[in-house]
């Protein structure tokens, strides 16, 4: 069964996730590492646990979630995978990074893009794709049914939701995707968001002030 390790990275306190199972294979999701220290923490965890990175996934392509894409490519030879609808979002990072005072090493482009539905495999684990735009134009969440965990990106947070005032954002679309797709998951599904602490689907159904 897949395990989750999270790392808080970069000035935006973004959660980078490592998923791994008993096969020793692991997936790196939303690598936000920015400093050498942040890079080393992730690399050392992979090394210390004898893990083999086999996939690099982006839930979406805002700057705080892709800062480490180039580093992971240089280190492990992995190109990112994300939905093609995020390609313009990634392309725009190079223009706005300097205005934000952030050093951005340009991410490689995918060899193949992820569809809106379906699944991807690593080791003994299957991740189901859940297409949930609204924060970003083509956000994907990754659901591991076996472990009952969701890597949710910036769609749903504990007591909050993703911003919808950025280019490609849409409040109604975001709420609709949360209520029809994410809230269809089991109440005890643990949600690992792009920022802040984890939560559960059931908790957010009861307590999230944006959804009532």
CATH number of residue 35's parent domain = 3.60.15.10
Residue 85 lies inside a defined structural domain of this protein: yes
Averaged pLDDT, 139-166: 98
Kindly state the average pLDDT of the residues 123-150: 98
Q: Is the pLDDT of residue 130 over 90?
A: yes
CA distance 212 to 202: 13
φ, ψ of residue 124 to 5 degrees: the values are: -105, 20
Question: Residue 193's domain spans which residues?
Answer: 3-207
Are 123 and 173 in contact, with CB atoms under 8 Å apart? no
CA distance 183 to 204: 9
- pLDDT attached to residue 212: 74
Q: How many structural domains does the chain have?
A: 1
Does residue 114 belong to any structural domain of this protein? Answer: yes
Percent of the chain with pLDDT over 90: 99
Q: Is residue 66 part of a domain?
A: yes
In a domain, 138, yes or no: yes
Let me know if residue 195 belongs to a domain.
Answer: yes
Residue 78 lies in a domain: yes
In a domain, 212, yes or no: no
In the prediction, which pLDDT does 32 show?
A: 98
The answer as to whether 169 is a domain residue is: yes
């Amino acid at each position: 069964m897949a395990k989750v390790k999270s790392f808080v990275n970069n000035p935006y306190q973004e959660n980078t996730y490592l998923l791994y199972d008993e096969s020793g294979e692991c997936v790196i999701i939303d690598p936000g590492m920015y400093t050498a220290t942040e890079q080393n923490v992730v690399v050392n965890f992979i090394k210390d646990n004898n893990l083999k990175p086999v996939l690099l996934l982006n839930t979406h392509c805002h700057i705080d979630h892709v800062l480490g894409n180039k580093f992971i490519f240089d280190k492990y030879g992995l190109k990112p995978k994300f939905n093609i609808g995020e390609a313009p979002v990634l392309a725009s990072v190079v223009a706005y990074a300097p205005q934000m005072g952030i050093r951005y090493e340009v991410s490689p482009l995918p060899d193949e893009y992820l569809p809106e539905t379906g699944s991807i495999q690593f080791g003994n684990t299957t991740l189901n794709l859940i297409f949930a735009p609204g924060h970003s134009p083509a956000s994907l969440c990754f659901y591991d049914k076996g472990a009952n965990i969701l890597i949710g990106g910036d769609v749903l947070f504990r007591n909050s939701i993703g911003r919808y005032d950025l280019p490609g954002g849409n409040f109604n679309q975001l709420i609709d995707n949360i209520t029809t797709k994410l809230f269809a998951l089991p109440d005890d599904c643990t949600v690992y968001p792009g920022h802040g602490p984890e939560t559960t689907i059931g908790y957010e159904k009861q307590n999230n002030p944006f959804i009532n």
